[in-house]
Amino acid sequence: MRTSMSSSESLREALNFDEHLILENNWKGRFVGISDYQFFHRQSLENFEQFWAGVAEEIEWFKKFEKVVIPGEHPNVYKWFAGGRLNLSYLCLDRHVKSWRKNKLALIWEGEPVKEDGEPLEIRKFTYFELWRYVNRVAYVMKEKLHLKRGDRVAFYMPMIPELMILMLAAARLGVIFSQVFSGFSAEALASRISDIGARYIFTTDGYYRRGKIVRTKEIADKAVEECPTVEKIILIRRVGSTETPIDEAKHAYLEELLKDVNPNAYVQPEEMESTDILYVLYTSGTTGKPKGIIHDTGGYAVLLNATMKWVFDIRDEDIFWCTADIGWVTGHSYIVFGPLMVGTTVVMYEGAPDFPAPDRWWSIIERYGVTIFYTSPTAVRAFMRLGTEHVTKHDLSTLRLIHSVGEPINPAAWRWLFELIGGGRCPVGSTWWMTETGGILISHAPGLKLVPLKAGTNGPPLPGIEADVVDENGVSVPNGVKGYLIIKRPWPGMPGPPTGMYGDPERYNSVYFSRFGYFFTGDYAIRDNDGYIWVLGRSDEVLKVAGHRIGTYELESTLVSHPYVAEAAVCGVPDDVKGEVPIAYVVLKADVPKTSRVQEELRKWVRERIGAIAEPKSIFVVSRLPKTRSGKIMRRIMRALATGKPIGDITTLEDEAAVEEVKMAYEALLKEIGGKLE
């Protein structure tokens, strides 16, 4: 059952955004108006190839492309800027080294360990020239000592240290296809990805720091390669410097040792890559089956990132840009490494946990380096909200001028917290939409275009050249204010690339993304309002069907978090003999709220009054933390599995496994209290 609304006002009310937060103002005259943007957007679609050709002219090509976009050899796989040649390492480094940016800071890195006074123990800084020199030396090792060549594959199992960025840029320089595997994955998960891509080498560390402890990545990599016959050797980067790390010279080599006799001024000519050549493969988990190896090409990906850095982040030469994601995920690939460096900005990179050793770690980083653009996730924001405001207000965040979120829909309380507390009421706060498969942002407010008024809570309109639609089960566009499925109707630069979209599996690529509607299906529910703004409501597989009524987990969670007692909430469904499925909720309360049974009853009443009795959670569990990945994504499948007595599966990506045990204990305590069955 879809929810119909007669106006954008009722839409806002349904999504729990207070009217005063929907600020269709001009932000001190910076924005022209939505009608101007709508005209501009229509023009970009009516002159589709001409538009993207113009955008592509903004980057430097070794050889100009002959065609903007043509079909590939497999259905729904397209070749962008065919005939063109370029190199991402060159675009990120060489062209800046040739300019006044040569001695500009490219990277500021901060390690997790701190001194006794709480100040960071390790800070490393690289100018564009210093980064370029380091990348050339590593590329020399790859080429001359490891004999890697264009088209070879390698795997990176790396934490958030500068060498990960350097390895990615060195591989791109040589045309070596790489796959970065999140450093929190298990040996089994790592092995499956290495085997799928057929990597010749794995690059990893002796370990890294997380919440004051050492994670032994080498040991995990050693175990993984036992199942990976294509791997010739593990290349290690010293991070923790442990003397306990055993080395087998037949299986291991230290990058530091390989670099010892390399000329400090070594130079490796960047390969002239075809625009359609593979840059990297990134694996993203599905609900079933093995991980999906999404291919990203060179030219289309570069064009989209260069454009979105300007359109969405309004990038300026003086900016200090901090994306808080892990490079193990696509957000880090696109908006820590390639996007920011292409436009010559200064990037901040942090190794560790957001609240270690104290809850003000992130805010101290913003103050310490004068961050101007802050890109983070709503889940991370909600985690900080429950800790109180004093950890924020003791830091000067006045350098911030733009804030965006990514990863999931942003709830009203989190938006308000970012806008009022972090941004001081002066910074636009947007909610970007994209995914691993899109390569870069497709739907967003666009401060850099100065044509899109801020509307709090929305993701914004589709960016220029992007044709998005909201459709029903039959693929027919739904009216404004009606919930449907979000699709992308035209190819875009940065989409899964040739030759097969999904590494070695074109049939799965088409069945997952194109079989349902004939267009790219994002898997998300969304609503389009009367101004053409998109409100993404969450995954279409994260919905409950209660007595025939569909209720999105995001809608329920947003309502719970809007209560003054609640800092975080996660909702999942459990089977019910009468209704088919009923919601249960796990909530994290703010620090000063008493944990009594009256809290649960008040929250049930809150949901009942704001959504309806059909949405009232059958049970509400109060916990101190929710099971989340290190990137901040709530793992609802774990809570659902615990509540239904099913195996919880792989939990290697969890930030804190103790959260699972707490959820389990809360559920078991309730069952014991009511006699062993959730009625």
How many residues are recorded in the chain? 679
Give the pairing of strands 484-488 and 468-471. antiparallel
SS3 107: strand
Q: Report whether pLDDT(306) > 50.
A: yes
pLDDT value for 652 = 57
Bond from prior residue into 499 cis (ω within 30 degrees of 0):
yes
pLDDT at 660 over 80: no
Q: For 634-669, give the secondary structure using H, E and C.
A: ECHHHHHHHHHCCCCCCCCCECCCHHHHHHHHHHHH
Give the phi and the psi of residue 644 in degrees, each rounded to 5: -110, 5
- What's the average model confidence in pLDDT over 342-346? 98
> Looking at the predicted structure, is the pLDDT value of residue 350 above 90?
yes
**Tokens found for residue 200:** 């010749």
Contacts of 105 (CB under 8 A, 6+ apart): 125, 126, 127, 346
Report whether 156 contacts 179 (CB < 8 A). yes
- Confidence band of 10 (pLDDT split at 50, 70, 90): very low
Question: How does DSSP assign 219-260, residue by residue?
Answer: HHHHHHHTT-TT--EEEEE-SS--TT----TTTEEEHHHHHT
Average pLDDT, the chain: 88
Nearest to 666 by CA among 556, 589, 559: 589
Tell me, what's the pLDDT at 20? 35
Confidence label for 32 from pLDDT (cuts 50, 70 and 90):
low
Pairwise CA distance, residues 94 & 268, whole Å: 11
Asked which of 352-366, 377-391, 456-470 is least confident by mean pLDDT, the reply is: 377-391
Q: Does position 207 have pLDDT exceeding 80, yes or no?
A: yes
Q: Name residues whose C-beta falls within 8 Å of residue 241's C-beta, 6 or more positions apart in sequence.
A: 206
CA–CA dist 168, 279 (Å, integer):
10
Work out whether strand 373-376 and strand 402-405 pair parallel, antiparallel, or are unpaired: parallel
**What is the reported pTM?**
0.84
Lowest mean per-residue pLDDT among 199-213, 277-291, 354-368, 377-391: 277-291
Cβ atoms of 211 and 353 closer than 8 Å: yes
CA distance 489 to 594: 50
Sketch out the chain's domains with CATH numbers: 543-672 (3.30.300.30)
Nearest C-alpha neighbor of 405 from the set 439, 369, 440, 379: 379
Residue 229 has pLDDT above 70, yes or no: yes
Q: Residue 537, Cβ neighbours under 10 Å: how many?
A: 24
> What pLDDT, in 10s, does the model give residues 596-647?
768 889 999 898 877 777 788 988 988 888 887 766 677 777 777 777 777 7
Lowest mean pLDDT segment, chosen from 134-148, 160-174, 477-491, 621-635: 621-635
Which pLDDT band holds residue 379 (cuts at 50, 70, 90)?
Answer: confident
Q: By the 8 A CB rule, do 431 and 534 touch?
A: no
Is the N-terminal amide bond of 357 cis, ω within 30° of 0?
A: yes
Asked if 495 and 330 touch (Cβ cutoff 8 Å), the reply is: no
Please compute the mean of the pLDDT values over residues 104-119 and round it to a whole number.
96
Residue 468 φ then ψ, to 5°: -105, 155
Position 19 scores a pLDDT of 37
Give the C-alpha separation, 102 to 643, whole Å: 56
How far apart are alpha carbons 514 and 517 in whole angstroms? 6
Phi first, then psi, for residue 48 (nearest 5°) are -55, -55
Backbone angles phi and psi of 269, in degrees to 5? -60, 125
Q: What is the CA radius of gyration of the chain?
A: 24
> Mean pLDDT across the stretch 644-659?
65
Q: Which of 22-26, 323-327, 375-379, 528-532 has the lowest mean pLDDT?
A: 22-26
Task: Say if residue 176's pLDDT is above 60.
Answer: yes
What pLDDT does residue 414 have? Answer: 86
The per-residue pLDDT for 574 is 83
pLDDT digits (tens, 9 = 90+) for 68-108: 999 999 999 999 999 999 999 999 999 999 999 999 999 99
Identify the pLDDT of residue 62: 98
Q: What is the DSSP letter of 459?
A: -
Closest Cα to residue 567, out of 612, 603, 521?
Answer: 603
pLDDT in the model for residue 194 = 95
Amino acid 24: pLDDT: 39
